[in-house]
Amino acid sequence: MKKGIGQYAIGESFAGFLLIKEATKGVTTNGKPFLTLIFCDSSGEIEAKLWDSTKEDEATFVPEQIVELAGEIIQFRGNLQLKVTSIRPAQPTDGVHISQFIEKAPVDKEVLSEKIMEAIFEMENANLQRIVRAFVKKYGEALLTYPAAAKNHHEYVSGLAHHIVSMLSIAKELTNIYPSVNKDLLYAGIILHDLGKLKELSGVVTTTYTLEGKLLGHIPMMVEAIGEVASELKIEGEEVTILQHLVLSHHGKAEWGSPTPPLVREAELLHLIDMIDAKMNILNRALDKVQPGEFTARLFPMENRSFYKPLFDRKDS
């Protein structure tokens, strides 16, 4: 595999295509305009400065534009920076596409889709199954391509579906270990719990919050959506209320955004499985970036802890 921008070290030279993720205008202390650009490919991102930028530059180098550039990796205030020596916007003839530059789930979306369908197929309670099926149909492609969050965990293309599928695997095993758990309810909760994010987040590539997302949040929006879908399907009764409860309570407590805490066994389990998979996603990706014997960067969503990667392996002694 080709070396991505996330793998370059100080002093190395880079030449190739990158995607512009952010572009901000600035003025130096002596009044000269410049552009701060953040470039990315699927392996990571890097900052660069474009000195003495023109109005034309400002119009050319904008987010979601692919560019071909060359430069050197330097250190600037403790972070890596790309010192650009040449840059030009990509042409149609370059044969590059935005989807090549953004991080994706390590599992294909077709596989993810299949696994979700399998879980639905396993469900025996018709009410729960019909509601879940209706959502999967309604949200279709978005469900398979959205990230699970704007940052923190599973923040890549198909991150949401990847998160759902990992959670379903954990749920399957836990229902073996604790057989009194209602598997249908747990599966339904897992598949639906974060679908409100499809309305809370603006999109797949540059992910920001919608007005509805900011003023209501994905949890109340999804509670409402379940009510709506159930009403369209003419399904009434405890399954609907309890499914809404699973979504409402899945953050675990009021301070974390769930006005009601889990009060049903499967709601508690949904919360715990969600927490495990989110934490493991963060941890695994952070540990992948360091060598044995090193600590990771501080991980904000893990209470700002920095984790150690032991020197020894399974078979060591």
Q: Residue 239 in contact with residue 128, Cβ under 8 Å?
A: yes
| Distance of closest approach, residue 99 Cβ to its own copies, in angstroms | 27
Nearer to its own copies, 90 or 170 (CB): 170
Closest separation in Å from C-beta 240 to its own copies = 10
- Cβ neighbors of 301 (< 8 A, separation 6 or more) are 152, 153, 278, 282
* Calpha distance 251→268 (Å, rounded): 10
CB 309 → its own copies: shortest distance, Å? 8
Of the two residues 46 and 66, which places its CB atom closer to its own copies in the complex?
46
Task: Give the nearest distance from C-beta 206 to its own copies in angstroms.
Answer: 18
Grouping H, G, I as helix, E, B as strand and the rest as coil, residue 47 is strand
Residue type, 228: E
Smallest distance from its own copies to CB 97, Å: 31
In whole angstroms, give the CA distance from residue 84 to residue 5.
Answer: 13
For 95: left if phi > 0, alpha if psi spans -120 to 50, otherwise beta; the answer is left
Distance CA 245, CA 225 (A): 13
The span from the CA of 183 to the CA of 164, in Å, is 15
Q: Do the beta carbons of residue 52 and residue 32 sit within 8 Å?
A: yes
The answer to whether 19 and 48 have CB atoms below 8 angstroms apart is: no
CB closer to its own copies out of 102 and 107: 107
Nearer to its own copies among residue 110 and residue 313 (C-beta): 313
Nearer to its own copies, 18 or 80 (CB): 80
Smaller CB distance to its own copies: residue 102 or 207? 207
Structural contact between residues 150 and 201, judged by C-beta atoms closer than 8 angstroms: yes
